[in-house]
Amino acid sequence: MQKVLVTGGAGYIGSHTSLVLLEKGYEVVILDNLCNSSEESIRRVEKLTGKKITFYNVDLMDKEATLEVLNKEPNIDSVIHFAALKAVGESVQKPLIYYNNNISGTINLLECMQETGVNNIVFSSSATVYGDAKEIPVPETAPLGATNPYGQTKLMMETILTDCAKANEKMNVTLLRYFNPVGAHESGEIGEDPEYPNNLLPFVQQVAAGIRPKVFIFGDDYDTPDGTGVRDYIHVMDLAEAHEAAIAKMNGVKVYNVGTGTGYSVKEMIESFRQISGSEISAEITARREGDVAMLTPKAELIKDELGCEAKRGLTEMITDAWHWQSQNPKGFRE
Ligand code: NAD
Ligand code: UFG
């Protein structure tokens, strides 16, 4: 049985990935400081799978405590590194907190892995590393650039990981560049739980549930079919399965886009949510959000060709599962 250390495993994508790993027979150890999550997500994953997770409430900024986890948990085969701060707007306001947490946390983790001989790591990167991409759909080989401190941290972490692999031929690094993860596990037991949503779907979910009065559409004058921004949304369970496929087949440094290859506009997303939830969902057009691009969708074939991994769930499942989670857990994990 392979043993995987999941940093940030109590969070949105980490909890769904831990569930997939347990179901596939892996042993899961989670390290998370719960700065943006709750231990309840871990309990629910255990309940859904009927399996145990070893949980350490540890901050990656605390190198001694992180090393202690790796020493206490011998024979870790791979690390999946989700732990990071991720709010783009906040990163512009508080850049040092982002650089410190995301970069120092990653360096501490890598040092601890080196000291304990763990050589395989899958990293949560983001489509944000393409900046304002010229070529759409964007291939993995496109030029990189970031438009905010959060994106800079992702670019820097990609570079640090790649350099570490160059220096150590035993090391395997897979960089997964996620597009827009949405949805929830079909049970409705785990899902995304933001107190103040920054992203479109969690915001729409909360409007549909009556928690917020309306959704603001950030601009309808983009050069897109209906004037609103187009993104590639991927079901979080498809994304979770991509992580399992990545750790099952590590080989040197690999970089993959993780998306579906199909883009939807903000208006299309809201309309689908109206239809599926039966909620009215008031919407108002406002100014563009600074730093947003008109369209960002990936070339999504490489991960299919090399890892045999393909998104299976479409927009209806994404929204049905998001709404199931939201309506079943109006206060998220905070009840
Ligand atoms: P999340 O906030 O739900 O999960 C991140 C987890 O990391 C949280 O549980 C948090 O408590 C933990 N964490 C943060 N800093 C830590 C530290 N110093 N030590 C220990 N734990 C720490 O976010 P998510 O949406 O699940 O995202 C997971 C990863 O995927 C992040 O790296 C994020 O940047 C990346 N990503 C997310 C998206 C998205 O839209 N959700 C898109 C692209 C990339
Ligand atoms: N949008 C609205 N109203 C909202 C929120 C978003 O109209 O309240 C629009 C945005 O302008 C954009 C689309 O909905 O056109 C998607 O926005 P999100 O904030 O949901 O997602 P982004 O594509 O802007 O950003 C996400 C992650 C980032 C990541 C990026 C990579 O939040 O962490 O994808 O593409 F870097």
Cβ of 180 less than 6 Å from ligand 2: yes
Asked whether the beta carbons of 125 and 80 are under 8 A apart, the reply is no
Among 327, 325, 231, residue whose Cα is nearest residue 16: 325
- Give the 3-state secondary structure of residue 178: strand
Q: Is residue 146 lining ligand 2, measured as CB closer than 6 Å? A: no
Give the pLDDT confidence of 254-269 residue by residue, as tens digits.
Answer: 999 999 999 999 999 9
- Lining residues, ligand 1, CB within 6 Å: 8, 10-14, 32-37, 59-61, 82-86, 101, 105, 124, 126, 178, 180-181, 199
Tell me which residues are annotated as active site: 150
Q: What is the mean pLDDT of residues 126-152?
A: 95
If one compares 200 and 1, the residue with the highest pLDDT of the two is 200
As a whole-number percent, the residues of the chain with pLDDT over 90 amount to 94
pLDDT confidence tier of residue 332, bands split at 50, 70 and 90: confident
Phi, psi at 95, each rounded to 5°:
-60, -40
Which atom belonging to ligand 1 lies closest to the Cα atom of 14? 26
pLDDT for 97: 98
CATH number, span 3-184+232-259: 3.40.50.720
The CA–CA distances, whole Å, from 3 to 247, 250, 301 equal 11, 14, 29
Would you say residue 334 has pLDDT above 80? no
Whether pTM exceeds 0.85? yes
Averaged confidence pLDDT in the chain: 96
pLDDT of 36 reads 96
Q: Whose CA is nearest to atom 13 of ligand 1?
A: 83
For residue 20, the CA-to-ligand 2 centroid distance in Å is: 26
Ligand in nearest proximity to the CA of 212: 2
Q: Are 270 and 203 within 8 A, CB to CB?
A: no
Closest by alpha carbon to 5, among 60, 54, 68, 57? 54
Domain residue extents for the chain: 3-184+232-259
Distance of CA 194 from the midpoint of ligand 2 (Å): 14
What pLDDT does 283 receive? 98
Identify which of 106, 3, 104 has the alpha carbon closest to the alpha carbon of residue 52.
3
CB 191 within 8 A of CB 325: yes
- Confidence band (pLDDT; 50, 70, 90) for 335? low
Q: Per-residue pLDDT tens for 161-210?
A: 999 999 999 999 999 999 999 999 999 999 998 888 999 999 999 999 99
Torsion angle of the four alpha carbons 234, 308, 17, 199, in this order, in degrees rounded to the nearest 10: -20
Rounded CA-CA distance 295/216 in Å is 18
* pLDDT for position 95: 97
Residue type at 96?
L
E strand segments, 67-127? 78-81, 120-126
CA of 296 to the centre of ligand 2 (A): 10
Residue 194 is predicted with a pLDDT of 87
**DSSP letter string, 240-285:** HHHHHHHHHT--SEEEEEES-S-EEEHHHHHHHHHHHH----EEEE
For the stretch 305-331, pLDDT in tens is 999 999 999 999 999 999 999 999 988
Measure the CA–CA gap between 75 and 77, rounded to whole angstroms. Answer: 6
Q: Which helix (H) or strand (E) holds 257?
A: strand 253-258
Ligand 2, atom 4: closest residue by C-alpha: 200
* Contact between residue 203 and residue 197 where contact means Cβ atoms under 8 Å apart: yes
> For 283-290, what is the mean pLDDT?
95
8 Å CB contact between 87 and 12? no
User: Stretch 18-41: mean pLDDT, rounded?
Assistant: 98
Nearest atom (ligand 1) to Cα of 35? 11
